[in-house]
Structure 1
Amino acid sequence: MKEQTIIINDTNIARCENNPLLTPDMVKPSCEGFIVKGVFNCGVAKYKEEYILLCRVAEAVKSDSEDVVKFPVIVNEDGKSCFKTITLIKSENSELCFDDSRTITRGKDGNSNVVYLTTLSHLRIARSKDGVHFTIDEHPTIMPNAENECWGMEDPRITRIDDTYYINYTAVSPYGAETALITTKDFGNFTREGCIFLPENKDVTIFPEKINGKYYAFNRPVPKAIGTPDIWLSESNDLIHWGKHQHFYGVSDTGWENGRIGGGAPPIKTEKGWIKIYHAADRNSRYCLGVFLLDLENPDKILAKSEKPLLEPEEYYEKNGFFGEVVFTCGCLYEDNKVIIYYGAADDTICRADISLEELYSHLGIGEQS
C-alpha cells in the first residue's frame, strides 16, 4: 500500500495514497432514478482473510431543477417495505429551510425540527483482500424497514465477540434517531435484534469483550433543553438491555471539541489499555478525530487523551464534498502493530489512514516504557 505521511501536531499518521478508496460513482444505485450522494462512515471487520467494510450508502432522487428537491423514504404497502419519493418545491415552501445539505428543517435556528432528510441511507458491503482495493456489492446488503428506519440506516459499527459480529447502527424515522442492533456470523445472514438505545442516542461503540463480567458501550444522547452532546458509558448483561448509565466525557468550552463529541470506532485492546478513537466537532461542524487510552479494568478511567486532533480535515476530499470539513470514523482494525482507521470524508467518500502503536502512544504523551 502506498502511503502519504502527514505530520499533524507532531504525529505521524499515514493517509493511503489511494484515498479516497470508495466514491459515489463506484456504487450502483439501488433503484432506477436514484443517485448515490455518498458512500461513507463504514463499520469494519476481518472475515475469512477478507477486509469487510459495511458502508453507509446515501441516495437521493434525480432532479432537473435546483428549485426541486426529491428524496426517497420507506413506506409500508400491503405488508412490504417500499420506496416512496417525496418532492418539495423550495419556492413554494418558504417555511422550510434547505440550507443544510443533509436535512430539511422548519426554521433556521439550532432547535429547529427536522422534517425530512435529503437522502435515504442503507447498508452495503465492500470487500478487499489487501484492505485498500475494494469491490462494493451491486445491491444493498441491508435495507431499512418501514417502521423505525423509514428515513434510513446510518453509521454502522461492528464489534466481534467470539464468533458473532454485532452491528449497531442509527435507525432514523420521524420518531427520532435510535440505535438498533443486528447480528451475523457470516455477513450473509443477518438477525435484527431491535432497538438498544432510545432516541435521540447514537454513536454507540461496544467493547469487544466483557470487563469484570459486564459488557460496556459508549453512547451519545442528545439533550434538547439542558446539557450538551456528550459521551456516556453504559453496561449490560446481554448486549440488548443497557443500564447503569454514567457520564464519561463532555464537550469543551473552546477549541476543536466545543460543539459535540461522539463514540467513533469500537475500542481496541492493547497492553497499555483500551485504544478508543473518537470524533469531535466544533461549533462550525468541523469534525476531527481524537483518541483516548482507557484502563483495561475500569473503562471509565481515562489514562491519556488527545490534546490536539489525531486526524483533521486537510486534504481536498476531506474539506470538500456533500458536507465538507469532516473526518468521521465508525471502525478501525489493529494489525501488524498499527491501527488502521477507515473514515468517512466530507460525508461522501471512504478513506484510510494508518498509525503505528508507537506513534499513537507518542501522540498521547506516553513513552514505550510507561
Structure 2
Amino acid sequence: MTVSIFENAHFPLGPFVPYEHNPILRPKGDSWESANLYNPAALVVDDEVILLYRAHAEDIISHVGIARSEDGFHFEREDAPILSPEHDYERYGCEDPRVAFIDGTYYLTYTGWDRTVAKLCLATSTDLRTWTKHGPLFDNFDTFAATDDPRGGTWSKAGVIVPFQMQGKWWMYFGEGGVYWATSDDLIHWTPGTPDAEPMYAPAPGTFEEDLVEIGTSPVLTENGLLLMLVNGARRNVLGEGHGVDYRCGQIVIDPDKPTELLARMQVPWLKPQTFEETNGLVSNVTFVEGLVKFRGQWLAYYGQSDTTLAVAIHDPAHTWGSSVRAASRHLEHSS
C-alpha cells in the first residue's frame, strides 16, 4: 500500500476554484447520514482519494463515514460508519476527523461531544476500518481561554499531526478559538507546550478571523521547507447582536526550525460562503476546510458547506496567482 502524505507547495497555496458540480456528497436515505454530511479528512491511498467525513441523522449524533474516488470528485461511500460514539465523552458525536498516516498506522483525531464539553480525541487503525480509541487528549485545557469567549473548563477540537518528527519529537497543532502546539514521544500521549492562555495563533480583530481561528487541514511541505496548513476563521454576530456566523478559510505557515512560532498568516480568505449551500444549512454562512490532497497534478481542498453538504475546491498549479498580469507581460514582450 502506498499513501501520499504531502507534496511540495508554495505559500499561499492557490488560487482555488470551487468545483462547478458541488456539492459532491449530500445526506441520503433514512440512515445515520440522512440529515447532514460535512467536514471531511482526506488522503490518497493506492491512487484513490479517501474521505473520512462527518454525518448524522436528525438526532445530530455524528458518526464518521468513509468514501473513495478514482477521480477525486465522484465518490462511492460505504453503508456503515467506521467510527461511532461508544463512550460518555462522545455519546452525542464523533465529529470533524483529521488523519495522518505514519509508519503503517493511521492516526485519526476527532472531537468527542457530550453536548456540554468538546474534547479532542485520538484513534488509531492499520486499515481505516477497525479503530482503537485512545480517549481525550487534553483535559482541563480550554482553547478559547485567550478569546472573548472563554469556556471556563475543558474545551478542545481540531488536531493535525505533522507526519514527520521535528527536533526529535512528534508535533501536533490543535485548537478551536486559538491554536496551540503539543508534542509526543509515541504519537499517543500528547503534552501541550504552553498554557491555554498563550496560543501561538489567535483571532485577529477586524479580520475574517476576528472571533476564532481553528486548524483545518494536515500540513504540507512547501518547496522552501515551510509547513503550510489551511485554517478556518470566523466572525460572530455578522447580522447583528446574537445573529449568525461567517466562517471563511485562510492559510498559515510555520518554520520547522521554529515550530512554536507562527511565521505568516493569509490576510484575506481564499474561500468564503457564496453559493446557496454555503449560505443556507444547519449552521448557515460556513465554508469549513478539513481535507487537502494533491492528486493527479491538482490540489483538492475538501470542505463542509453550512454543516450540511460536502464540496471541493481545485487548484491547478498551471493557474497561479497573478496569471492575468503575467499573461499581459508575455503579450507585451511578444509585441515588442
The one of 55, 58, 61 aligned to 2:53: 55
- Residue of structure 2 equivalent to 1:109: none
Shift of residue 160 of structure 1?
1.3
Contact 2:15 2:270 in 1 (8 A): no
Shift of residue 174 of structure 1?
4.9
Q: How does 1:28-107 map to 2 (within 5 A)?
A: 29-30=31-32, 36-60=34-58, 71=59
- Residue of structure 1 equivalent to 2:246: 286
Contact 2:15 2:321 in 1 (8 A): no
Give the aligned residue type for 1:309.
P
Give the aligned residue type for 1:219.
F
Are positions 1:237 and 2:185 aligned together? yes
Q: Compare the two structures and name the one with the higher strand fraction.
A: 1
Larger relative contact order (Cα-Cα within 8 Å, sequence gap ≥ 6): 2
Give the aligned residue type for 1:166.
Y
- In structure 2, runs of 5+ residues without a counterpart are 1-13, 140-153, 238-244, 324-336
- Residue of structure 1 equivalent to 2:21: 18
- Residue of structure 2 equivalent to 1:108: none
Shift of residue 264 of structure 1?
0.7
Q: Distance in 1 between matches of 2:304 and 2:215?
A: 14
- In structure 1, runs of 5+ residues without a counterpart are 1-10, 61-70, 72-118, 222-228, 364-370
Contact 1:37 1:322 in 2 (8 A): no
Are positions 1:300 and 2:300 aligned together? no
Q: Distance in 1 between matches of 2:252 and 2:211?
A: 18
Contact 2:271 2:287 in 1 (8 A): yes
Q: Distance in 1 between matches of 2:322 and 2:209?
A: 21
Other structure's SS at 1:202 match = coil
Other structure's SS at 2:200 match = strand
The one of 134, 151, 154 aligned to 2:95: 154
Q: How does 1:256-295 map to 2 (within 5 A)?
A: 256-272=208-224, 273-284=226-237, 285-295=245-255
Q: CA RMSD in A?
A: 2.2
Q: Distance in 1 between matches of 2:253 and 2:321?
A: 9
Contact 2:72 2:300 in 1 (8 A): no
In structure 2, relative to structure 1, the CA distance for the partners of 1:295 and 1:319 (3 Å cut) is same
The one of 77, 80, 97 aligned to 1:136: 77
Q: Distance in 2 between matches of 1:305 and 1:178?
A: 26
- Residue of structure 1 equivalent to 2:159: 204
Other structure's SS at 1:275 match = strand
Q: Distance in 1 between matches of 2:187 and 2:160?
A: 11
Give the aligned residue type for 1:184.
S
Are positions 1:249 and 2:201 aligned together? yes
Q: Deviations over 1:329-370 (max 9, x none)?
A: 12211345543210001101110012245877779xxxxxxx
TM-score for both structures, normalised by structure 2: 0.79
Q: Percent identity at matched positions?
A: 30
- Residue of structure 2 equivalent to 1:311: 271
Q: Distance in 2 between matches of 1:146 and 1:53?
A: 24
Other structure's SS at 2:157 match = strand
Q: Distance in 2 between matches of 1:257 and 1:360?
A: 25
Give the aligned residue type for 1:304.
A
Other structure's SS at 2:35 match = strand
The one of 184, 193, 198 aligned to 2:125: 184
Shift of residue 302 of structure 1?
3.2
